[in-house]
């Protein structure tokens, strides 16, 4: 039995949360049982991801290949757990568990009673399962299906909030995400037409053989995919859905949406660009320069927009737009340092932004304060919450000994390797701007005269979640270890897959 489970782990990490989501509504009126089931399946996901990651490291990056139904590619659907897959699986499981822990006995004021809370958990597990699927799938059509499951789950999570603007934000998200999905499907369709394959490996081999016969089709496919995933990832100026969606969603949903959901779409884009097109075609069609330029614009524009916001969650939402820019900037510099920095920045930002949104939710829930200008004295009233927020802010800025520094250091090294003079300046300017929109929050909370407000740190599960995420920011900064090794190996593997 144990051997069977271990040999089928690549599919179990996807199916387990989806199965629990399917049966969860049966227990809607027993909310404590629902919470226990959710925490249990996510804890098992952490163990499974950790085991798969250790196997990949022990095998020096040799991937674990699982053929669904026993049918090998290209006839069957193939799941592959390599360095990139193991990296993202660890991230999905490592973030989803503490975020779920923060919801324990804490959702009624944001979504309603036990039935509404159960619906929230169903959507949450559907999102986690689809993200795990994005990590391991090696099939282009499966990418589209999983992206759709994730998108609909995200829309449902946004609309689950009892905020009056939630329905409008979810509808806007749905409309723009549908446009992005149509473009992604169109891009996949063009690739299938000219290669005859949906398996990424076989499609890449065929594309390398025939791309010169269909250069315009390849360019259209690449453009569709880039714009489609750009909409999903909230790349500036395709970000217009994100500020409303992330700021009006329940705080745990904001954490998972900003921390993981947009990262899933980025991982899919990385897979398509580097596993199907390959580094050679990326340079041939100037995709590297386009992506790098879009990333630099996003860093500056997102940061400036964040500085203009007085509403706490909205400032954090706009900061996500800026941080997405770092990922695209790194993708545009086709070298090992940049790709390593890109992947590590994805992990770093996931941990940081999840903690920041949970801290913001705790402040709003305890005090009712939503605006930064009204947060004077919060640091004294809620010391653990603000300590977690401060650690996350230091990581976001890129202070040494915090996780953000490691990713930005590799991005800087990659930019210099590429011979770019503008990119390093933009990376440094983005860190300065991050300090400009995050440090005033800390100054207001700790050093301005306290107002007469009621508030205290949240309950034990929420405090544990904040402490775990804050510890993650510090650990990834001081001892990045396996995460950085997996990111580096994934970068090497991605660059070796030229068609």
Residue 146 to residue 16: CA distance in whole angstroms: 15
- The CA-based diameter of the chain, rounded to the nearest angstrom, is 71
Instruction: Give the C-alpha separation, 387 to 381, whole Å.
Output: 11
Q: Which structure tokens are listed for 211?
A: 């791309």
Quote the tokens at residue 230: 């750009």
Give the span between the Cα atoms of 155 and 136, in whole angstroms.
Answer: 23
d(CA 427, CA 329): 9
Q: Rounded to an integer, what distance in angstroms lies between the CA atom of residue 125 and that of residue 463? A: 22
Helix (H) or strand (E) holding 64: strand 64-67
DSSP characters for 54-85? HHHHHTTTPPEEEEGGGPPTTTS-EEEE-HHH
- Residue 10: its pLDDT value, please? 85
Give CA separation, 417 vs 336, 400, 428, in Å: 9, 22, 16
Helix or strand run (H / E) with residue 298: helix 287-307
Q: What is the pLDDT of residue 497?
A: 67
Rg (CA), the chain: 21
Q: How far apart are CA 390 and CA 397, in angstroms?
A: 11
Are the C-beta atoms of residues 481 and 374 closer than 8 Å to each other? Answer: no
CA distance 31 to 291: 45
Which pLDDT score is estimated for 208?
85
Q: What is the structure's pLDDT at 2?
A: 55
Query: What tokens does 24 get?
Result: 């969860």
User: Residue 355: is the preceding peptide bond cis (ω within 30°)?
Assistant: no
Q: pTM, whole model, 2 decimals? A: 0.92
- Burial-class residue 468 by CB neighbours within 10 Å (0-12, 13-18, 19+): buried
pLDDT for 1 equals 47
For residue 79, what is the enclosing H or E element?
strand 78-81
Q: Measured between alpha carbons, how far is 295 from 278 in angstroms, rounded to an integer?
A: 20
For each of the chain's 499 residues, which pLDDT tens digit applies? 455 666 788 888 889 999 998 988 888 788 888 888 999 999 999 998 888 888 888 877 688 887 777 777 777 788 888 888 889 999 999 999 999 998 887 777 777 778 888 888 999 999 999 999 999 998 899 999 999 999 999 998 888 877 778 888 888 888 999 999 999 999 999 999 999 888 888 888 989 888 888 889 999 999 999 999 999 988 888 888 888 888 888 888 888 988 888 999 999 999 999 989 988 888 888 888 899 999 999 999 999 999 988 888 899 999 999 999 999 998 888 888 899 999 999 999 999 999 999 999 888 888 888 888 888 888 888 889 999 999 999 999 989 989 889 989 999 988 888 887 888 999 999 999 999 999 999 998 888 776 666 778 788 888 899 999 999 999 999 988 888 888 888 888 888 865 5
The Cα 315–Cα 243 span in angstroms is 8
Q: 342-369 in b/e burial notation, b at 16+ Cβ within 10 A?
A: bbbbbbbbbbbbbbbbbbbbbbbebbeb
Pairing mode of beta strands 78-81, 64-67: antiparallel
> Rounded to whole angstroms, how far apart are CA atoms 122 and 156?
10
User: Which of 397, 400, 402, 407 has the alpha carbon at shortest distance from 436?
Assistant: 397
């Amino acid at each position: 039995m144990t051997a069977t489970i271990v040999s089928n782990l690549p599919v179990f990490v996807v199916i387990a949360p989806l199965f629990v989501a399917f049966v969860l509504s049966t227990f809607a009126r027993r909310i404590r049982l629902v919470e226990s089931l959710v925490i249990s399946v996510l804890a098992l996901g952490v163990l499974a991801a950790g085991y798969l990651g250790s196997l990949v490291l022990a095998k020096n990056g040799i991937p674990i290949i699982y053929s669904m139904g026993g049918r090998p590619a290209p006839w069957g659907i193939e799941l592959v757990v390599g360095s990139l897959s193991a990296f993202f699986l660890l991230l999905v499981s490592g973030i989803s568990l503490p975020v779920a822990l923060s919801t324990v006995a804490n959702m009624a004021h944001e979504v309603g009673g036990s039935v509404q809370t159960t619906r929230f958990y169903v959507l949450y597990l559907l999102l986690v399962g689809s993200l795990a699927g994005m990590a391991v799938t090696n099939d282009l059509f499966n990418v589209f299906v999983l992206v759709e499951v994730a998108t609909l789950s995200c829309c449902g999570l946004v609309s689950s909030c009892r905020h009056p603007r939630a329905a409008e934000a979810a509808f806007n998200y749905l409309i723009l995400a549908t446009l992005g999905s149509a473009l992604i499907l169109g891009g996949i369709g063009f690739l299938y037409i000219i290669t005859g394959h949906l398996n990424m490996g076989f499609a890449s081999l065929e594309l390398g053989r025939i791309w010169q016969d269909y250069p315009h089709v390849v360019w259209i496919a690449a453009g569709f995919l880039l714009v489609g995933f750009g909409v999903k990832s909230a790349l500036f100026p395709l970000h217009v859905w994100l500020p409303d969606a992330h700021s009006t969603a329940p705080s745990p949903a904001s954490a998972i949406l900003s921390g993981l959901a947009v990262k899933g779409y980025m991982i899919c884009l990385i897979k398509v660009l580097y596993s199907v097109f390959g580094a050679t075609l990326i340079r041939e069609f100037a995709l590297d320069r386009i992506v790098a330029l879009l990333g630099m614009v996003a860093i500056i524009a997102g940061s400036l927009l964040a500085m203009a916001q007085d509403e706490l969650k909205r400032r954090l939402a706009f900061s996500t737009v800026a941080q997405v820019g770092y990922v695209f900037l790194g993708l545009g510099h086709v070298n090992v340092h940049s790709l390593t920095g890109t992947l590590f920045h994805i992990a770093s930002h996931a941990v940081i932004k999840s903690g920041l949104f949970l801290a913001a939710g705790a402040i709003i829930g305890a005090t009712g304060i939503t605006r930064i200008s009204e947060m004077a004295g919060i640091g004294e009233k809620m010391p653990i919450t603000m300590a977690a927020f401060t650690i996350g802010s230091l990581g976001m800025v890129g202070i040494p000994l915090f996780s953000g520094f490691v990713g930005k250091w590799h991005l800087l090294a990659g930019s210099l390797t590429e011979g770019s003079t503008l990119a390093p300046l933009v990376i440094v300017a983005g860190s300065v701007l991050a300090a400009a929109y995050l440090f005033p929050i800390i100054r207001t909370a700790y050093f301005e005269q306290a107002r007469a407000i009621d508030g205290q740190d949240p309950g034990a599960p929420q405090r544990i979640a904040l402490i775990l995420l804050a510890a993650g920011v510090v650990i990834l900064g001081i001892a990045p270890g396996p995460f950085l090794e997996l990111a580096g190996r994934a970068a090497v593997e991605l660059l070796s897959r030229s068609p």
